[in-house]
Amino acid sequence: MSYDIENIKSEFAEHVKTLQNLISDELKRIDTKINLNEDIWERNDHAGNPGGGGITRAFEGEIIENAGVNTSLVFGEVDPKFAANIGGDNNQMWATGISLIIHPTNPRVPTTHANFRMIQAGSKIWFGGGADLTPYFPHEEDFEYFHKVWKDACEPYGYWDDWKNRCDKYFVNKHRADEMRGVGGFFYDHFFSGDPEKDLAMFKEISSNFIKSYFPLVEKRMNEAFDDEDVDFQLHRRGRYVEFNLLHDRGTHFGLKSNGRTDSILISLPKRVKFTYRYEPTKPEHKKMMAYYYPKDWV
């Protein structure tokens, strides 16, 4: 099969920048008091040579407590052990993608995370990514809506069931009796069909559904009333979010080990978080939520 891999890489890199701009615009539209701290950064590769960089956008506002919408394009030499660990066949790597996390202020509004990336490690090429939802209040219709948007996007390609199950198994705090950090979504990694042009078109189309999947939920819930107990539950669940991101998340480890920008990688962490020894929720709605942090077919 003949294809121009450099053009495919360039097109995917431009696509994630377009997504970054569209999602940034939505955050500004929904939260008119939001502040943006944009950081355009560069990195060196393992040998000390220029190795690309990225655009980090850190948001803080009234409706959106904190969010990060980041793109990066990195390349060059990596540590041979790291190259072998990610499945490369030499110590050269190229990677681009978008990674985002949105932590709203109101605990009636769920947190969300998504990323879409393309990687070339030596001669091997693959795509990875997905999106998931972390709610703090039992609005089942919201969970169903989020999953339906992504199912409608993925199912025509025949991967929804597999990617949904992968998500349920990946975003899990295994050290807490396999409790999920949220209610799932979809997740894929090391995906390559053998036809990168076909894969590029598929992932451009799928990833373009993010705004539709999430922002209607923000607008639906952002003005709902909440109390101190709701905030307390939200902050404790954010603690579980932090545990996953620091202990288990491969994207966090990938970024740090590939000499990425540390603050850009850790922007996924919430602004406020809480830990209490052997915490147990007391409000009925929060107790109900605890049963949802395990795999379930929402659509």
173, two tokens: 């705090």
Collapsing DSSP to helix, strand or coil, 62 comes out as coil
Q: What is the gyration radius of the CA atoms in the chain, in angstroms? A: 19
Backbone angles phi, psi at 125, to 5 degrees: -125, 140
Look up 46 and say whether it is catalytic. Answer: no
Instruction: Say which residue the tokens 């790597």 belong to.
Output: 93
- Widest Cα–Cα separation across the chain: 61
User: Which one of 15, 113, 139, 147 is the catalytic residue?
Assistant: 113
Do the Cβ atoms of 41 and 226 come closer than 8 Å?
no
Do the Cβ atoms of 123 and 94 come closer than 8 Å?
no
Where do the H-state alpha helices sit in 113-209?
A: 140-154, 160-170, 196-207
State how far the Cα of 46 lies from the Cα of 260, in Å rounded to an integer.
11
Instruction: Please list the active-site residues.
Output: 113
